[in-house]
């Protein structure tokens, strides 16, 4: 991420991976109910239960399934964050440094696009936020390849999310620092993360809806992701691609704020513990 001054010792790639994974897990703990509500709203056409809005969805789940249903699948979510966020966010700075000069802002997009291909493939799916034991059920019922159903739309979503989150966060933060509107501290990280969450939500919603519908469909319902997209357009029109936009923004916006603020603070602490030569401006 931008903001390090020349005299400072940047964190090692191992420290970036650890910080990103920890920040992802902390963020998941805070925003998991919103993610659950988003998924329920996106696949509500296939459910017999009627969900209305974020608050209505959460209250319906608590009333019909109990409060624990809001965190159903948390173990799988934390596993996903440790493997996915650590690579996606921890590797971004390194890819960015190798692919472009810090001043070439428009060239940060390839760095954002280059990261998701790795973590997008080996992360098994967990339909409707089911727990880790669901992996064995999927493998038994659909075969090992069923764990990777929806890989291509997932990679497409991750590519869009990475550009919307990581690149936009860096650009907004860089602009704030260069214009000297804010210092490199928590308020700056908050503003940049909130803007990144909004951009990511708008850009990724269509891909996210298709991915969620496809990965949670019954076997044989859709032949591929394209047929799922066409079915959604036929059934709901273009507006169907933005189904669950409000909970998506609430989830992704809050996720980005908690994620980047936590990640930046962990980076600051790691530099201090690692014997960095200078304090960051966020201290």
- The tens digit of pLDDT for each residue in 107-132 reads 455 444 445 544 443 444 444 444 45
Q: To the nearest whole number, what is the mean pLDDT of the chain? A: 74
Tell me what pLDDT residue 91 has.
Answer: 77
Tell me what pLDDT residue 108 has.
Answer: 53
Contact of 281 with 177, CB cutoff 8 Å: no
Look at phi and psi of residue 224 and say left if phi exceeds 0, alpha if psi is from -120 to 50, else beta.
Answer: beta
Local confidence band at 44 (pLDDT 50, 70, 90 cut-offs) = low
What are the structural domains, with CATH classification, of the chain? Answer: 13-273 (1.50.40.10)
Distant-in-sequence, close-in-space partners of 145: CB < 8 Å, separation ≥ 6: none
d(CA 165, CA 161) in angstroms, rounded, equals 6
Tell me what pLDDT residue 54 has.
Answer: 74
Phi, psi of 95 (to 5 degrees): -65, -40
Q: What is the mean pLDDT of residues 65-93?
A: 80
Contact of 197 with 254, CB cutoff 8 Å: yes
Q: What is the mean pLDDT of residues 256-281?
A: 72
Contact of 278 with 5, CB cutoff 8 Å: yes
Q: What is the mean pLDDT of residues 132-159?
A: 72
């Amino acid at each position: 991420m931008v903001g390090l001054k020349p005299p400072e010792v940047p964190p090692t790639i191992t420290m970036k991976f650890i910080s990103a994974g920890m920040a992802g897990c902390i963020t998941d703990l805070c925003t998991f109910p919103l993610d659950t509500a988003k998924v329920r709203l996106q696949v509500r056409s296939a459910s017999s239960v009627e969900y209305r809005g974020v608050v209505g969805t959460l209250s319906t789940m608590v009333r019909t399934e109990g409060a624990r249903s809001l965190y159903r699948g948390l173990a799988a979510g934390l596993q996903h964050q440790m493997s996915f966020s650590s690579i996606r966010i921890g590797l971004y700075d390194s890819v960015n440094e190798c692919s472009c000069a810090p001043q070439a802002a428009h060239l940060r997009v390839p760095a954002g696009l280059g990261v998701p291909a790795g973590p997008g493939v080996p992360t098994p799916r967990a339909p409707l936020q089911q727990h880790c034991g669901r992996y064995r059920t999927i493998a038994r019922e659909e075969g090992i390849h069923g764990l990777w159903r929806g890989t291509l739309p997932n990679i497409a979503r991750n590519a869009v999310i990475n550009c919307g989150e990581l690149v936009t966060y860096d650009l907004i933060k860089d602009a704030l620092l260069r214009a000297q509107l804010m210092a490199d501290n928590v308020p700056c990280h908050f503003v940049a993360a909130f803007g990144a969450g909004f951009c990511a939500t708008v850009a990724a919603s269509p891909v996210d809806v298709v991915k969620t519908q496809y990965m949670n469909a019954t076997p044989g319902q859709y032949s591929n992701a394209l047929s799922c997209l066409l079915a959604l357009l036929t059934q709901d029109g273009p507006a169907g691609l933005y189904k669950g936009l409000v909970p998506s923004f609430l989830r992704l916006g809050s996720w980005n704020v908690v994620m980047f603020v936590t990640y930046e603070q962990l980076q600051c602490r790691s530099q201090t513990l690692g014997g960095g030569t200078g304090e960051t401006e966020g201290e």
